[in-house]
C-alpha cells in the first residue's frame, strides 16, 4: 500500500546536562503504517518518552531522519510543527496534563481554539466527544473534581478534538487503577477500529500485549519488533487522513485569550490585586494631579481674564529707582494718570494709592488696606458695586470723606443683616461715611483676598490719609486691544520723558497670563513626571507577576503547544494577560483619580477635568502592560514543548 505514515531512520537523541552529553537513543529506525495499533515497551529509562516526544514533534532528534507522510520534519519551522501537532497528533499523557483552571469541556476545546474553530462548533464537538466517553454529566467539572480515569478520558477527548489521526499515548494507564486502565485501553482499541493510528508507550507487558504490534526498546535501541495481527481498519485510516485537516490557521480568538487571562488572574486573586494596585496608583495619580494642576491654572487664568484683557498696569520700578531729590521715593503721581489719559487709544487711566490702616466701627477694629482711587475704577477693573453706589466725580472734587467697603471688610465690621450703608467708620481715626459695598471678587492672581479693602476717593486719600503723593499703580485700559503694544510703548515713552528717568514699568495682562501659564505648565510637568514614575513602578510589578505566572504555568504552556498552539498564540496569551491587568488597573485608576478630583472639588479646590490626561494615563497603563508584559510572554513562547511539558 501507500508509504508509511511515520518513518524514522537512524534517529539519535543526545541530552546535554551542562558539560555532560548523554546519548539516550542510539539509532532508531522504524516504520509505522496508517491504522496500526503499536505498543512501544521498555523499562523505565529506556528512552520511550524521548522517542514519543520526537514522534509527536515535541522535540527534535539530534540526528537521523523523521519522515511524516513522506515529508522531512526536520526542515519544518516552529509554526509548521505546531500545525502538525494541531492537525495530525493527539497526545495522551500519564499524568493527563489537563489545565487545572479550565473545565473538562474547556480542556477538550483547547486544540480547536488553536485550529480556529468557532466557539459554537468547538463547544458542540467537545460536548459530543465527552458524552461519547460517558462524561456528558461532567462537562463543567474541573480536573481536580474528576477521578483519574475520568481525567484520562477528558485528555483522550482532547486528543480527538482536531481529529487525532495519530494518537500518541505515553503510559496512559500508568496512574490508573486496573479497571480504569482497561477502560482506557478499550477506548484506544475502539479508536483504532475507527481508523486512528495508535502508538502506546508502556512499561507493562500486559498492556502492550493488547496492541497489534509490539516494539521493544532497551537502552535506546529497538531489540524486537513483532506484528501479531494486521491492521483493524486500514480503509478507515485512509478516509480519516483525508477528512482531517483545517482551513487557514487562524490566530486563536482574542476573546478566548482574554477569557483565559481573566481566569488565570482570578486564580491568584490576591497577587493580582497587589499588582493592580501599582497601576491604579500610577494612573490615579496622573489623572488626579493633572486635574488639580489644570484646575489651579484655569482658576488663576480666569481671574486674570475677569480683569479684562485690554489692561496695562503702570508701577514704579524700584529696581531702576536711584533716589530722587531729597531722598523721596515718589515716582508715580496722580498727574501721571491725567497725562496718560491723553495718549491715543487710552480709555481709562485709574491711579490707586494704598496704605495699611485700621478701620473701626463701634468697638470693632480691623486692619485692612485702604485704596484711594477714581470713579473709573469699577469700569477699568470690571468690578461691580454690590449695594449703594461708587465714588463719583463730585466726591473727588469736594474731597468727600466717603468709603466703599470690600465684602471682607463689610463682613468683619457689620453683623449679619445690618446694612453698612450710611454708617460712619473711622479710617485711621478719620470718620468716613459708607456709600457702597462692592460685590465679591474672590482671591486675586497672587492668592490675596481682593475683597479685603476699603475704597476712598483718591483726592481725599492723598489729602487726609496718605500724606504723600505717590501712586502705587495706574491701571490703564486701552480701547483697541490689538494696538496694546504700541500704546504701551507710547505710555512708557511719555512717563520716561515726564520723570526724566526710567523709574516706571508697565506690564500687560497678556504677559502676566503668559508667565502664569508657563509656571503652572512647569508644575504640571513635574506632577506628571512623579505620576509617570509611579506608573513605571506599576509596570515593573506587572513584569514581575508575569514572569512568575510564566514559570508557574510552564507545563500548561507545554500542553498548549502539544495541542497545537503556535509561538504567537502563547505570546498573545501572556501579552493579553499583562494587558488585562494593566487595563483593569488603568480603568480603576482613572475612576480613582476622577474620584479624588471630585473629592478635592467638594473640599473647595479648583479642579478641572479634561479628557486628555484620562486618555493619556489609560494609554500609558496599556503601553506599560505591553512593554513590561512582552519579555515574559516572549520567554514563554520560546519554550521547547518537550521541555515545558516535563517541567514540574
Ligand atoms: P522512559 O520514558 O523510557 O522512562 P525517558 O525517555 O524519559 O525514559 O528517559 C530516557 C533517559 O534520558 C533517562 O536516562 C533520562 O534520565 C534521560 N533524560 C530524559 N529527559 C532528559 C532531559 N531533559 N535531560 C537529560 N536527560 C534526560
Ligand atoms: Mg517515560
Distance 62 CA to ligand 2 centre (A): 19
Give me the mean pLDDT over the 357-362 stretch: 90
Distance 34 CA to ligand 2 centre (A): 24
**Rounded distance between C-alpha atoms, residue 405 and residue 422, angstroms:** 12
Residues 16 and 122 in one domain: yes
Q: What is the pLDDT of residue 307?
A: 67
Ligand 1 shell residues, CB under 6 Å: 15, 17, 22, 24, 42, 44-50
Checking if the pLDDT of 324 tops 60, the result is no
Checking if the pLDDT of 289 tops 90, the result is no
**Rounded distance between C-alpha atoms, residue 508 and residue 467, angstroms:** 29
Residues 494 and 524 in one domain: no
Q: Is residue 216 part of a domain?
A: yes
User: What cell was used for 202?
Assistant: 508502556
Q: Is residue 257 part of a domain?
A: no
Distance 106 CA to ligand 2 centre (A): 27
Nearest CA to ligand 1 atom 15: 45
Residues 84 and 211 in one domain: yes
Residues 484 and 560 in one domain: no
Q: What is the pLDDT of residue 591?
A: 93
Which atom of ligand 1 has the smallest separation from the CA of 46? 3
Q: What is the pLDDT of residue 10?
A: 95
Q: Is residue 310 part of a domain?
A: no
Q: What is the pLDDT of residues 123-173, one digit of tens each?
A: 999 999 999 999 999 999 999 999 999 999 999 999 999 888 999 999 999
User: What cell was used for 469?
Assistant: 503723593
Checking if the pLDDT of 241 tops 60, the result is no
Considering 482, 502, 522, which residue would you say is the last residue of a domain? Answer: 502
Nearest CA to ligand 1 atom 26: 15
- Which ligand sits closest to the CA of 16? 1
Nearest CA to ligand 1 atom 27: 15
Checking if the pLDDT of 243 tops 60, the result is no
Which atom of ligand 1 has the smallest separation from the CA of 217? 3
Give me the mean pLDDT over the 67-81 stretch: 91
Residues 237 and 383 in one domain: no
Number of CB atoms found within 10 A of residue 63's CB:
13
Give me the mean pLDDT over the 560-574 stretch: 91
Nearest CA to ligand 1 atom 10: 47
Checking if the pLDDT of 533 tops 60, the result is yes
Distance 129 CA to ligand 2 centre (A): 27
Which atom of ligand 1 has the smallest separation from the CA of 170? 2
Checking if the pLDDT of 103 tops 90, the result is yes
Distance 170 CA to ligand 2 centre (A): 7
Distance 79 CA to ligand 2 centre (A): 26
**What are the backbone dihedrals phi and psi of residue 61, each rounded to the nearest 5 degrees, phi first?**
-70, 155
Please tell me which of 42-56, 297-311, 404-418, 494-508 the model is most confident about, judged by mean pLDDT.
Answer: 42-56
Enumerate residues 6+ apart whose C-beta is below 8 A from 4: 31, 32, 33, 34
Residue 66 bridge partners (DSSP): 8
Q: What is the pLDDT of residue 327?
A: 40
Q: What is the pLDDT of residue 51?
A: 95
Nearest CA to ligand 1 atom 25: 15
Residues 282 and 204 in one domain: no
Nearest CA to ligand 1 atom 5: 47
Q: What is the pLDDT of residues 423-447, one digit of tens each?
A: 999 998 899 999 999 988 877 666 6
Residues with CB under 5 A from ligand 2 (ion): 49
Q: What is the pLDDT of residues 3-29, one digit of tens each?
A: 789 999 999 999 998 889 999 999 999
Q: What is the pLDDT of residue 248?
A: 43
Give me the mean pLDDT over the 223-238 stretch: 79
**Alpha helices, DSSP H, located in 307-347:** 334-341
- 97: domain CATH number is 3.40.50.300
386 compared with 236, residue with greater pLDDT: 386
Tell me what the pLDDT averaged over the chain comes to.
86
Which atom of ligand 1 has the smallest separation from the CA of 171? 2
Nearest CA to ligand 1 atom 16: 45
Distance 51 CA to ligand 1 centre (A): 10
Residues 40 and 154 in one domain: yes
Q: What is the pLDDT of residue 2?
A: 59
- Which ligand sits closest to the CA of 24? 1
Considering 453, 472, 502, which residue would you say is the last residue of a domain? Answer: 502
Tell me the residue range of the domain where 574 lies.
Answer: 266-302+514-645
Residues 619 and 473 in one domain: no
- Which ligand sits closest to the CA of 646? 1
Give me the mean pLDDT over the 319-340 stretch: 65
Distance 93 CA to ligand 2 centre (A): 10
For the chain, helix, strand, coil in percent to 5 are 50, 20, 30
Q: Indicate the pLDDT class of residue 249, thresholds 50, 70 and 90.
A: very low
Q: Is residue 377 part of a domain?
A: yes
Q: Indicate the pLDDT class of residue 523, thresholds 50, 70 and 90.
A: confident
Residues 213 and 352 in one domain: no
Residues 114 and 56 in one domain: yes
Tally the domains of the chain.
Answer: 3
User: What cell was used for 245?
Assistant: 485537516
**Rounded distance between C-alpha atoms, residue 226 and residue 213, angstroms:** 6
Q: Is residue 150 part of a domain?
A: yes
Q: What is the pLDDT of residue 238?
A: 65
Give the gyration radius of the chain's Cα atoms: 44
Nearest CA to ligand 1 atom 22: 15
Cell 495522551 appears where? Answer: 92
Which atom of ligand 1 has the smallest separation from the CA of 643? 23
Residues 78 and 160 in one domain: yes
Which atom of ligand 1 has the smallest separation from the CA of 44? 4
**Rounded distance between C-alpha atoms, residue 529 and residue 278, angstroms:** 16
Distance 648 CA to ligand 2 centre (A): 15
Distance 48 CA to ligand 1 centre (A): 8
- Which ligand sits closest to the CA of 48? 1
Enumerate residues 6+ apart whose C-beta is below 8 A from 641: 53, 58, 59, 85, 558, 561, 562
Which atom of ligand 1 has the smallest separation from the CA of 52? 6
Q: Tell me which of 12, 13, 14, 15 to substitute to probe ligand 1's pocket, judged by most ligand atoms within 8 Å of the beta carbon.
A: 15
Nearest CA to ligand 1 atom 21: 15
Checking if the pLDDT of 412 tops 80, the result is yes
Q: Tell me which of 49, 219, 554 to substitute to probe ligand 1's pocket, judged by most ligand atoms within 8 Å of the beta carbon.
A: 49
Q: What is the pLDDT of residues 165-192, one digit of tens each?
A: 999 999 999 888 989 889 899 999 999 9
For 214, how many CA atoms within 13 A lie in the half-sphere containing its CB?
A: 17
Cell 490702616 appears where? Answer: 357
* Alpha carbon separation from 66 to 75, 511, 564 (Å, rounded): 10, 80, 19
* Alpha carbon separation from 347 to 26, 237, 259, 310, 374 (Å, rounded): 104, 101, 70, 10, 14
Q: Indicate the pLDDT class of residue 457, thresholds 50, 70 and 90.
A: very high
- Which ligand sits closest to the CA of 51? 1
In this structure, the strands spanning 213-218 and 473-478 are unpaired
**Rounded distance between C-alpha atoms, residue 476 and residue 563, angstroms:** 82
Checking if the pLDDT of 328 tops 50, the result is no
Q: Is residue 308 part of a domain?
A: no
- Which ligand sits closest to the CA of 171? 2
Residue 474 bridge partners (DSSP): 314, 351
Q: Is residue 22 part of a domain?
A: yes
Distance 198 CA to ligand 2 centre (A): 17
**Rounded distance between C-alpha atoms, residue 34 and residue 192, angstroms:** 10
Q: Indicate the pLDDT class of residue 247, thresholds 50, 70 and 90.
A: very low
Q: Is residue 250 part of a domain?
A: no
Distance 81 CA to ligand 1 centre (A): 22
Q: What is the pLDDT of residues 360-380, one digit of tens each?
A: 998 889 999 999 998 988 887
Checking if the pLDDT of 54 tops 90, the result is yes
Q: Tell me which of 45, 52, 645 to substitute to probe ligand 1's pocket, judged by most ligand atoms within 8 Å of the beta carbon.
A: 45
Residue 371 bridge partners (DSSP): 354, 455
Distance 234 CA to ligand 2 centre (A): 29
Nearest CA to ligand 1 atom 13: 45
Considering 471, 502, 533, which residue would you say is the last residue of a domain? Answer: 502
**DSSP E strand boundaries for 171-307:** 197-202, 213-218, 221-227
Q: What is the pLDDT of residue 7?
A: 95
Q: Is 174 exposed, middle or buried (0-12, 13-18, 19+ CB in 10 A)?
A: middle
3-state SS, residue 418: coil
Residues 17 and 157 in one domain: yes
638 near 570, Cβ under 8 Å?
A: no
Distance 49 CA to ligand 2 centre (A): 4
pTM: 0.71
Nearest CA to ligand 1 atom 1: 45
Checking if the pLDDT of 257 tops 90, the result is no
Q: What is the pLDDT of residue 477?
A: 85
Q: What is the pLDDT of residues 575-625, one digit of tens each?
A: 998 888 888 999 999 999 999 989 988 888 888 888 887 888 888 888 888
**Rounded distance between C-alpha atoms, residue 136 and residue 257, angstroms:** 26
Amino acid at each position: 500500500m501507500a508509504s508509511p505514515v511515520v518513518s524514522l531512520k537512524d534517529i539519535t537523541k543526545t541530552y546535554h546536562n551542562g558539560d555532560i552529553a548523554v546519548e539516550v537513543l542510539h539509532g532508531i529506525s522504524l516504520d509505522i503504517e496508517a491504522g496500526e495499533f503499536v505498543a512501544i515497551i521498555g523499562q523505565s529509562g529506556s528512552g520511550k518518552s524521548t522517542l514519543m516526544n520526537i514522534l509527536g514533534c515535541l522535540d527534535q532528534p539530534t540526528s537521523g531522519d523523521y519522515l511524516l507522510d513522506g515529508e522531512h520534519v526536520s526542515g519544518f519551522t516552529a509554526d509548521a510543527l505546531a500545525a502538525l501537532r494541531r492537525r495530525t497528533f493527539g497526545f495522551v499523557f500519564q499524568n493527563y496534563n489537563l489545565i487545572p483552571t479550565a473545565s473538562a469541556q474547556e480542556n477538550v476545546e483547547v486544540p480547536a481554539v488553536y485550529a480556529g474553530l468557532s466557539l459554537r462548533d468547538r463547544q458542540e464537538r467537545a460536548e459530543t466527544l465527552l458524552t461519547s466517553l460517558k462524561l456528558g454529566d461532567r462537562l463543567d467539572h474541573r480536573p481536580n473534581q474528576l477521578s483519574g480515569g475520568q481525567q484520562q478520558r477528558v485528555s483522550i477527548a482532547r486528543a480527538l478534538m482536531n481529529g487525532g489521526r495519530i494518537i500518541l499515548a505515553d503510559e496512559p494507564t500508568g496512574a490508573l487503577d486496573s479497571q480504569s486502565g482497561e477502560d482506557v485501553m478499550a477506548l484506544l482499541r475502539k479508536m483504532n477500529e475507527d481508523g486512528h493510528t495508535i502508538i502506546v508507550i508502556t512499561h507493562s507487558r500486559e498492556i502492550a500485549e493488547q496492541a497489534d504490534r509490539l516494539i521493544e526498546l532497551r537502552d535506546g535501541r529497538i531489540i524486537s519488533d513483532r506484528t501479531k495481527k494486521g491492521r483493524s481498519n486500514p480503509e478507515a485510516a485512509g478516509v480519516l487522513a483525508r477528512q482531517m485537516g483545517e482551513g487557514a490557521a487562524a490566530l486563536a480568538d482574542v476573546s478566548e485569550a482574554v477569557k483565559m487571562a481573566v481566569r488565570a488572574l482570578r486564580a491568584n486573586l490576591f497577587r493580582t490585586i497587589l499588582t493592580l494596585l501599582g497601576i491604579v496608583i500610577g494612573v490615579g495619580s496622573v489623572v488626579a494631579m493633572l486635574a488639580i494642576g489644570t484646575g489651579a491654572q484655569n482658576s488663576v487664568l480666569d481671574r486674570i481674564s475677569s480683569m479684562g484683557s485690554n489692561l496695562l498696569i503702570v508701577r514704579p520700578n524700584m529696581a531702576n529707582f536711584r533716589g530722587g531729590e531729597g531722598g523721596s521715593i515718589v515716582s508715580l503721581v496722580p498727574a501721571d494718570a491725567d497725562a496718560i489719559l491723553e495718549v491715543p487709544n487710552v480709555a481709562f487711566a485709574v491711579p490707586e494709592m494704598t496704605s495699611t490702616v485700621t478701620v473701626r466701627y463701634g468697638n470693632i477694629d480691623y486692619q485692612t488696606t485702604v485704596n484711594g482711587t477714581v470713579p473709573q475704577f469699577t469700569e477699568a477693573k470690571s468690578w461691580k458695586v454690590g449695594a449703594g453706589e461708587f465714588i463719583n466725580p463730585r466726591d473727588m472734587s469736594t474731597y468727600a470723606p466717603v468709603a466703599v467697603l470690600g465684602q471682607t471688610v463689610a463682613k468683619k465690621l457689620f453683623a449679619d443683616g445690618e446694612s453698612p450703608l450710611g454708617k460712619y467708620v473711622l479710617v485711621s481715626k478719620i470718620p468716613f461715611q459708607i456709600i457702597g459695598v462692592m460685590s465679591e471678587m474672590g482671591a486675586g492672581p497672587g492668592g490675596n483676598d481682593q475683597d479685603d479693602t476699603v475704597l476712598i476717593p483718591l483726592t481725599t486719600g492723598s489729602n487726609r490719609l496718605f500724606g504723600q503723593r505717590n501712586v502705587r499703580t495706574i491701571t490703564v485700559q486701552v480701547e483697541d486691544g490689538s494696538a496694546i503694544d504700541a500704546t504701551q510703548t507710547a505710555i512708557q515713552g511719555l512717563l520716561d520723558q515726564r520723570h526724566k528717568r526710567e523709574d516706571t514699568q508697565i506690564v500687560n495682562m497678556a504677559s502676566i497670563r503668559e508667565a502664569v501659564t508657563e509656571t503652572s505648565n512647569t508644575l504640571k510637568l513635574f506632577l506628571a513626571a512623579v505620576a509617570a514614575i509611579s506608573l513605571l513602578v506599576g509596570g515593573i510589578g506587572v513584569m514581575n507577576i508575569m514572569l512568575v505566572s510564566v514559570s508557574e504555568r510552564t507545563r500548561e504552556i507545554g500542553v498548549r503547544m502539544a495541542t497545537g498552539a503556535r509561538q504567537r498564540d502563547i505570546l498573545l496569551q501572556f501579552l493579553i494577560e499583562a494587558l488585562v491587568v494593566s487595563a483593569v488597573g488603568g480603568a480603576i485608576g482613572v475612576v480613582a483619580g476622577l474620584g479624588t478630583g471630585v473629592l478635592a472639588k467638594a473640599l473647595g479646590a479648583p479642579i478641572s477635568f479634561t479628557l486628555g490626561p484620562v486618555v493619556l494615563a489609560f494609554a500609558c497603563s496599556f503601553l506599560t502592560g505591553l512593554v513590561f508584559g512582552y519579555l515574559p510572554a516572549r520567554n514563554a513562547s520560546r519554550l521547547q514543548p518537550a521541555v515545558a511539558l516535563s517541567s514540574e
